[in-house]
């Protein structure tokens, strides 16, 4: 699945977060409300 597939769906259980000085780091995570849990799926760190 491409990041863009869920990037624009704020209510989706799968979400992405960019961070860092110029947004060069990404985390993709899955929210499991029924289990009250968040699973980290991908961490991308570019220098």
Measured over all CA atoms, what is the biggest interatomic distance in the chain, rounded to whole angstroms? 36
Chain segment 3-47, per-residue pLDDT in tens:
555 555 678 899 988 888 887 899 999 999 999 999 999 999 887
Judge contact between 1 and 9, C-beta under 8 A: no
Quote the pLDDT of residue 1: 46
Strand partners, 27: 17, 43
Q: Residue 9 and residue 47: Cα distance in Å, rounded? A: 28
């Amino acid at each position: 699945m491409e990041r863009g597939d869920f990037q624009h769906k704020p209510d989706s259980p799968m979400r992405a977060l960019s961070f860092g000085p110029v947004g060069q780091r990404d985390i993709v995570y899955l929210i499991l409300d029924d289990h009250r849990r968040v699973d980290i799926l991908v961490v991308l760190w570019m220098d």
